[in-house]
Amino acid sequence: MARVGGSEAGGSVLGQVTGGSLPSTLLAACLFTLSLGYLLRRARARSKPGPKFPPHIFSPIPFLGHAVAFGRSPIEFLENAYEKYGPVFSFTMVGKTFTYLLGSDAAALLFNSKNEDLNAEDVYSRLTTPVFGKGVAYDVPNPVFLEQKKMLKTGLNITHFKQHVPLIEKETKEYFASWGESGEKNLFEALSELIILTASHCLHGREIRSQLTEKVAQLYADLDGGFSHAAWLLPGWLPLPSFRRRDRAHRAIKKIFYEAIQRRRETREPVDDILQTLLDASYKDGRPLTDDEVAGMLIGLLLAGQHTSSTTGTWLGFFLARDRRVQAQCFEEQKRVCGDDLPPLNFDQLKDLTVLDRCLKETLRLRPPIMTMMRMARTTQTVAGYTIPPGHQVCVSPTVNHRLRDSWIERLDFNPDRYLQENPAAGEKFAYVPFGAGRHRCIGENFAYVQIKTIWSTLLRLYDFELLDGYFPTVNYTTMIHTPNNPVVRYRRRLAGEAGGGGRP
C-alpha cells in the first residue's frame, strides 16, 4: 500500500523530478532553498518603507509606450489620467518617462523650482539651438540666459509699447487692404504673416523690417518649422528636408541681421529700439554682446512669440465670430473708449478696452498656445507625497489646468464675464498660467497683449466676422503649438456708422 505521509509524498515528487539519485535530490533541495530565500528577501524589501513613486500608467508597447494615444488626443489622455490617478502620474513615450503635475498645488513644484533642480536646457536646447543659434537662450548656462532675458526685458517697456501701437495699427491696415469688402479667408495664415511683419517692425527695427520681402518671410517660415515634434525627438544632424530648410534659413537670416547690425554700428544714429538696446547692453562682467549673440537674441525674440501670438489671435477671432453678441460689445467699446469717429489707436486706450481684454484672457484660458511646459529632473523631487527621481521629464499642462472641474465653473464655455467676479480659481496661484508663472514667466507677455489687442481693435473697426456655415475649428494636435484646423472665417467690411454685429447666429 502506498504511504501518503508528507515526507513520502514530497520525496516521491522530488524523486520524479530528479530521477531519484541522491546527488540530484540534494541539488534540487538546495535550489529550492535558495529560491525561497530570494523570494523572502524580496518580500521583506517590499515591506520596508521606501520612496513612493507617482502612479505609472502601464503600456504593453515597449519604447513607444503611450506616444500614439497621447499624440492623438493629449488633453483627453491627461484628463482621464487625472480622474483615475490624481494630480501626479507618470507614463512612458519614446523611451522617456514623463511625470505630469496637474492642478495648482502640484504645478507649484515646477513653477517654484530652481533650474539646477528642474532643468530647462536639458529639454528645450535641442529645439532652440538650431533655430536661434549657439550662445543664446538654452544653449548657455542658466545664469547667462537670465542676463540675456534681462537685457531683452529692458527693451520691452512702456515707452517702446507706446511707439509700437501706431506701427502695429498701420501694418494691420496695410495687410488687410487686400481682403476687399467681403469674403472667406484663412485667418491663421493671415495673422501668421501679419505677426511676423508687426513683430519685426517693433522688435527688430526699420532696417530689418525694410528687408522683409516675401522671400524673407518664407525664410522665417522655414526657420519656424524647426519647432516640430521631429526636431524634439530626433537628432538634429539627420538629413531631413525640414532640418535642411531650417539650417539654410538660419544662415540666411543671420546674414541679414549681421548687415543691419553693422550699418547701425557704423552710422551711430540714435535710435530707441530693441536692436539698439542690445547693441548698448553688456553682461555683468562688462563684456558687450557679440553680433552673433545680438542676431540670435533677435531671432529668439521674434520666433518665440510669433507662433503663439498668431495662434492666440486666430482663436480669439473665432470665439468672437461665434459669439456675435460679444463681438458687438467689443466694437461698441472701441467707439466708447476711443471716440465715435474711431481715431488712430494709442497705447493709453488699450488698457481701457476691458471687454476685449477679458475676451483675450478667456481665449488664453481655453486655448493656451503652449499645451505643456517641461523641465528635466536633475535632482530628486517630492510632491503630493510622491518622489520624482532624476531623469523624469516633469510637465505642467496649462490647457488642463485651465479647465479642471475642481477649479473652473462652466469650464468649457467661452465666458469673458467670468473675470468680472470672483472665480473659484482666483485663489489658486497656478490655475491660470498661459504665460507660465513665477521665475519662469514669459518676458514677452506684455508685448503679446499690446500686439494682439491692437490688431484686433483694428480688425473690429474694419470688419464684422462670422463663422462659415457654423463651423468652429477643431484643434490640431499634431503640431507643438495647438493650432486650429481649417481656420477659414467669413467677413464683411463695416459700413460707416455701423453698430456692429447682432446676437448669436
Which residue type, as a one-letter code, is found at position 178?
Answer: S
Residue 95 carries which side chain, given as an amino acid letter?
G
Q: What are phi and psi of 370, to 5 degrees?
A: -105, 115
Compute CA distances 308 → 30, 187, 227, 318, 380, whole Å: 67, 14, 12, 16, 32
410: left (phi over 0), alpha (psi -120 to 50) or beta: left
Classify the phi-psi angles of 396: left when phi > 0, otherwise alpha if psi is within -120 to 50, otherwise beta. beta
User: 21: Cβ–Cβ under 8 A, 6 or more apart, which residues?
Assistant: none
330 labeled part of a ligand binding site: no
In Å, how far are 118, 158, 421, 456 from 317, measured between CA atoms?
A: 36, 26, 24, 8
For residues 290 and 135, is the Cβ–Cβ distance under 8 A?
Answer: yes
Contacts for 357 with CB less than 8 Å, ≥ 6 apart: 351, 449, 453
Please state the φ and ψ torsions of residue 380, each to the nearest 5 degrees. Answer: -65, 135
Q: Closest by alpha carbon to 382, among 104, 108, 57?
A: 108
Annotation: binding site for heme: 442
Residues of each annotated binding site: 442
